[in-house]
Amino acid sequence: MSSSNINRTYLKVDRACAELRRGGAVVVRLPSGEAAIFKAVEIAHDNDIVELKTMAGSGTLLVLTANRMSSLGHSIGQNKPCATLSSAAHSAARAFEMALGQPATDGPQSSYTIIPEKAGSLADNTTRLLRVAKLIPAAFMARLRFRDIAMQDRWALENNLLIIEARDVDHYNEDAAASLRETTRAKVPLALAEDAEIIMFRAAAGGEEHFAVLIGDPLGRDAGKDKPPLVRLHSQCVTGDVLGSLKCDCGDQLKAALGLMARESNGILIYLAQEGRDIGMLNKMRAYALQDGGLDTVDANHMLGFDTDERSFLPAANILQTLGISKMRLITNNPDKIAQIAAHGFEISERISLDIDENPFNADYLKTKKTRTGHLID
């Protein structure tokens, strides 16, 4: 895909996310011409159910992810990422409860007709766009009754609506990572590593900013460098990295990784803008609130409709390629991180574990990482 097409896709999806975050409606369209108008449930209003029905000419459906449905006590089958729920009565209060509240005792099947939706469907595209916008992946959606693309374009223009093609959603994350460019670099002596340089990266069309911290000489510019650089892919954690939260091990891992790199004067830390396993700060706090009620970190994410881990390490892979790195000693306990980086063609000569002491506040969290997500924790 050309750079101009990447920029166009990126900007369209960014505009759609901004519209959804302010409570507006967006139209999503499949290659077949099938289209639907939808809004985010978490910032919708009671009258939006009727408004969407009136605009589209068909009934408004509630879209929930498979994880949310499972939390509500209903399995929708394998390879079905989401489901649409319809009801003749369409109680707005009930719909909001289904999407955002604690599981009801009578379950979703009591008043809703549940239709599992396949990957790539209109419903699936609505939840994927909401994830990009860092909103709860639950939508009010109404299918358009006409498939003529020219007619849809005129209708959208008349109603001041943005149409997003399914292919734009499909390529968004890949295009954003592919268009990452170095924007600036500067020497920044750190408390744990005085010989440090920070290199900023931003997608060509704007958006999230990631950065790399080079400690010592990881690119092998000095003669005699006989070891691959130590590499740490670290996802942003404001609560742990900045505030010193005791609920997770992120801040301690960041400091430990920088300390290892400083001792060898040979390391690269990629700091990724992926707060809360890429569900965003607000949703991370919602997950924390659910953990206060007794759920573990995995079940809390599922209750909100998200996957266990929403992160992609493609941005990190592209940054490492830009820096000329092909072989590394990877500092991680996460097997998924190892698999993703290896899948992008990097040679991992060694895995360096990060053994962080637990405390009374993160003991259950560390246990969950070990038993439910397979982290390599002793």
> Residues 54-83: pLDDT tens digits?
999 999 999 999 999 999 998 998 899 999
Please give the full DSSP string across 222-273, using - where no structure is assigned: STT--SPPEEEEEE--IIIIIS--SSSSHHHHHHHHHHHHHHHTEEEEEEE-
Distance CA 242, CA 199 (A): 20
| DSSP three-state, residue 86 | strand
Q: Which amino acid is at 13?
A: V
Sketch the domain layout of the chain as residue ranges: 3-174, 179-274+311-372
Q: Which of 309, 329, 336, 364 is catalytic?
A: 309
Q: Which residues of 210-222 are buried (b: 16+ CB within 10 A; e: fewer)?
A: bbbbbbbbbeeee
User: In this structure, are residues 59 and 86 in contact, taking their beta carbons and an 8 Å threshold?
Assistant: yes
* Residue 133 vs residues 48, 53, 146, 250: alpha-carbon distances, Å: 19, 24, 27, 24
Q: Which of 311, 351, 355, 372 is catalytic?
A: 311
Global pTM value: 0.91
Residue 223's pLDDT is 45
Residue 96's pLDDT is 80
pLDDT tens for each residue of 124-134: 999 999 999 99
* Residue positions forming the annotated binding site: 232-237, 248, 250, 253, 275-277, 297, 332, 337
Helix ranges (H only) for 22-100 are 48-56, 66-71, 92-100
Residue 98's pLDDT is 84
* Residue 360 vs residues 242, 246, 278, 367: alpha-carbon distances, Å: 20, 8, 26, 12
Q: Which amino acid is at 331?
A: I
Residue carrying structure tokens 């077949």: 32
Q: What is the mean pLDDT of residues 100-129?
A: 81
Q: How confident is the model at residue 106 (pLDDT cuts 50, 70, 90)?
A: very low
Average pLDDT, the chain: 90
* Residue positions forming the annotated binding site for GTP: 232-236, 253, 275-277, 297, 332, 337
311 is catalytic: yes
296 is catalytic: no
Q: How confident is the model at residue 206 (pLDDT cuts 50, 70, 90)?
A: low
Q: Check for a shared fold between 3-174 and 179-274+311-372.
A: no
Please state which of the ranges 95-104, 267-276, 330-339 shows the lowest mean pLDDT. Answer: 95-104
Residue 377's pLDDT is 83
Domain 3-174 sits in CATH at 3.90.870.10
Q: How confident is the model at residue 231 (pLDDT cuts 50, 70, 90)?
A: very high
| Level-2 CATH architecture, domain 179-274+311-372 | 3-Layer(aba) Sandwich (3.40)
Closest CA to 247 of 135, 163, 362: 362
